[in-house]
Chain A
Amino acid sequence: MNSPDRTGGSKANLISKEISALHDECSEQLTRLAWAIVRDWGLAADAVQETFALFAQKYDSIEAEHRRGWLFKTVQFQALNQRRSQLRSSQLVDRLREEPTPYSTRSPSANQEQNEQIEQLHRAIDDLPLEQRQVVQMRLAEERGFAEIAEQLNLPLGTVLSRMRLALEKLRRNLPTDEL
């Protein structure tokens, strides 16, 4: 027979284990999703942390099949709030580089895999038609906005966007499907 304290303790342990398992399963995805909104890895990590703190408090009231969806929705609300408060204090920098990426926490074999992907992508980039490569280069390497690229190349915005789209479709074929 378990005493009430002992039962409560084992239930708390079980909840803690379940939350921990969900954290392991989803935190990386959630951080990327939050980053897409705030464009800052520090703020994204904060959004995830606050989401899990709230999740632990409300755990009992969230049905098991909705927990994952709840995490994804809540992290977005947290990130949107972060962005609102950040915009009040300073302008967010819109970029896809220089921030530490989730890759930095990956294992050496995962980093090796990433290097191989990059090598493969180099070849795919070389195979792109010049006009597509130019747009990709200007947007991803030089980090110019699409409007600026269109102005500089003297092209309609739609043309620049369709070149980018075609290029990305080709380049994505060189990435493993689980990352698509």
Chain B
Amino acid sequence: MNSKPANNQNLQWDVDRYLLSDPSLDRDAFEQRMLEDLELAELVAASVTNLQVIASAVRQPETVSAVSFSTTKSQQKTYWAMLVTAAAVLLTVSVWQLRSATNDDQLSQIADNWVAFEGLTTGEALELIANEEQSLENHADAESNEQADWLVEAAREFYLAKNEGAAG
């Protein structure tokens, strides 16, 4: 009873396999069938169009989203890599400067450097410092981290106080 729709579906799938270049399809045999069967030839002609419509629909949203996704990811990666590198260098310099800072002018100058890192939490800043210090194979112990923590906080507070003063 349902053999006709099933046959139609099988026929449609054979046509799709031909148009989509299924390597397991005997193309010569299929083309011979097309020559002998007008309905099959007509179905191939119709299927070219509807497969193209489907292909257009598949390409359009995915292409746009794939491109924008990869661009955003790529931009984010580049930006983040630049930021981390810059942060690591600047923080290392700042920490060593802070450790030797003896007056407010020096602290002020160092605190200005924090403008680029306002989005970082103390933990994130410490992690960068710790990583950088480890790479220098120096001051990688807990004591130096505590010291760095205090210095980071001091510089941050100084920076914030300075900005509040300027705003007021």
Contacts and interface: CB of A to CB of B under 8 A. Distances in A.
A73 B35 contact: yes
B34 interface: yes
Contacts of B9: 169
Interface of A: 29-30, 32-33, 35-37, 68-69, 72-73, 76-77, 80, 94, 96-97, 101-103, 114, 117-118, 121-122, 125, 136-137, 139-141, 145-147, 157, 161, 164-165, 168-169, 171-172, 175, 179-180
B55 A97 contact: yes
B67 to A, nearest CB: 12
Nearest to A141: B59
B22 A161 contact: yes
A164 B22 CA distance: 11
A117 B41 CA distance: 24
A140 B50 contact: no
B119 to A, nearest CB: 35
A118 B61 CA distance: 10
Contact of A125 (B17, B19, B57, B63): B57
B54 A168 contact: yes
B42 to A, nearest CB: 7
A114 B53 CA distance: 7
